[in-house]
């Protein structure tokens, strides 16, 4: 998935930061990213209803699942990525 799906802005100009509480490795939860994953357009948008009710909706622009088979572990201890940088939602072997 891309975080931009959940952290929507009309211009894709937001930067997200992930901070590890503990040292991370590829075994215990290192962030995986897809090289160049920030280039494709956002496939879906997740948001609240008009009256701000807790019901959520998803606007799907591209129903194809986000490919993660070429994802790689982030190589820095502290890594920043824009919300459009693709990364898996589940652990990657």
**Domain residues of the chain, as ranges?**
1-93
Alpha-carbon distances, residue 79 vs 12, 29, 31, 41, 54 (angstroms): 19, 13, 9, 22, 32
Per-residue model confidence as pLDDT tens digits over 25-81: 778 777 788 887 777 777 777 777 777 665 666 677 776 776 778 888 876 555 445
Q: Which residues are bridge partners to 80 per DSSP?
A: 17
Are 19 and 78 in contact by the 8 Å Cβ rule? The answer is yes
Enumerate residues 6+ apart whose C-beta is below 8 A from 76: none
Q: Which residue has the higher pLDDT, 12 or 86?
A: 12
Q: Which residues are bridge partners to 33 per DSSP?
A: 72
């Amino acid at each position: 998935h891309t975080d931009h799906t959940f952290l929507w802005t009309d211009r894709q100009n937001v930067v997200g930061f992930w901070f590890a509480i503990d040292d991370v490795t590829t075994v215990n939860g290192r962030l995986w990213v897809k090289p160049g994953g920030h280039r494709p357009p956002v496939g879906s948008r997740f948001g609240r209803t008009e009256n701000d009710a807790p019901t959520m909706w998803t606007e799907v622009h591209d129903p194809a699942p986000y490919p993660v088979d070429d994802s790689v572990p982030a190589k820095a201890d502290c890594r920043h990525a824009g919300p459009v940088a693709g990364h898996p939602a589940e652990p990657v072997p």
